[in-house]
Chain A
């Protein structure tokens, strides 16, 4: 009886640990049988130790602690993501408010939306050819912004369309001005949808950064991953994958905390 209660209380910790062990075991088996080039978990840890234990070390341009790389990536993501929100939110509002605007631009949006970041990046680089040294950063920003903005655009538009007619009637009866209706009624009523869009956009921005860094060779988690692949240090590829996953997970959790705050409001 007591053991049962203990298990119930600790299963939030024990079960995920079991899951981790299973994955590690499969990885171990695969690396010693099928894929001989794949480093085993132990080898991966041995090769990655210095990057994890000295996360902010800087030994060279492409040889830095994993959190320092993560920081570079996050800074770039933050810029591109901010750009995506600044562009995407108003476009979403226009789509939600105006049928004519929707009819005009929705087909284009639907066509551009599924385009992969790998396809956008070369175009971004071409766009900023004149920028010299800055070209790779600007190209990456362009790619992050254009790929990450769609969930914000679409969710904002859905949110604006979903504003209950009752709220709009209140605004009309009170004869609120256009800007007052926007700031006192439309935006607060749309916020929960907007934040869902913001969260999804952040996820995409984080996906895109890795691709952008791989192609431009900028220092960051993605750039490091690609460099180590070329240098045949396969352990570090796994280190980077785990880092990317953990950071993405943390970002998503943080955003959903913010999102929940606005849902209850």
Chain B
């Protein structure tokens, strides 16, 4: 399969009075069509910066992003975004929140068709009875369901998820992970998610991309997750490889994510190849 999304030499630099602050540097990642890729790393490492650059909400300092053969410039509804806080407009009902995007993207379709789409996605995420409620009347989990419906309803080329379940309790999180996985599979959509939850990454993804700590965060390690799909949480967690992968990720986050900084307390690292820096990676870095 060909690469559907390509992030090449992506960099984000903020100018500051004390000199440029390099948040992300030389970030390379290729994603295949229909693949579910997760970025994992410590908070503040720059993973959300990468995601918001893909979303077009944050400007790209250097490098570029190609989606379906075209370089991205700015935000657009071809990338469905699920935010950490559901970001629903509180004065609109769940239905109207979903319709806002549909009206914008599918404005050529007749009205009843657009309404049907909104109703369909809201009922798929389990909100058939709550469509006319405002966000204030919905639980946090239900709000995020609306957020997911809103993203999928636009039939985007790519789905971007910024710690979508970070604000939920664990039971709700499990429910919503299953809802997301089901929708993702049915729509065979390419997805890029940011999380710091190791179990969430392993349950959902085809590949887990570990990021080193910022500043100058880059791809530290890429871990393929090959549990067969469709996945069942219990089956995944009981899989003989599960704890090996989990330990690998945790070990990366606990030890190796910091290593570069520890060995070069103040000097900028010269070594661009992470594979060399992290001998013993399960997988090799792309390129």
Contacts and interface: CB of A to CB of B under 8 A. Distances in A.
Interface of A: 164, 166-167, 169-170, 172-176, 180, 184-185, 188-189, 191, 264-265
B151 to A, nearest CB: 9
A175 B89 contact: no
A184 to B, nearest CB: 7
A169 B87 contact: yes
Interface residues of B, number: 20
B104 A166 contact: no
B57 A175 contact: no
* Residue among A172, A185, A188, A264 with most chain B CB within 10 A: A172
B89 A173 contact: no
Interface of B: 55-57, 75-77, 79, 81, 83, 85, 87, 89-91, 100-101, 104-105, 134, 136
B159 to A, nearest CB: 12
A166 B55 CA distance: 13
A170 B101 CA distance: 9
Contact of B75 (A172, A184, A185, A264): A172
A176 B105 CA distance: 10
A164 B135 CA distance: 15
B104 A176 contact: yes
Main secondary structure of the interface of A (DSSP, over half): helix
Given A169-B57, A173-B75, A175-B77, A265 B90 contact: yes
B94 to A, nearest CB: 14
Nearest to B83: A166
23 contacts: A166-B83, A166-B85, A167-B87, A167-B89, A169-B81, A169-B87, A170-B87, A172-B57, A173-B55, A173-B77, A173-B81, A174-B77, A174-B100, A174-B105, A175-B75, A175-B76, A175-B77, A184-B89, A184-B100, A188-B91, A191-B91, A265-B90, A265-B134
A264 B83 CA distance: 23
A167 B57 CA distance: 12
Nearest to A262: B91
A265 B57 CA distance: 27
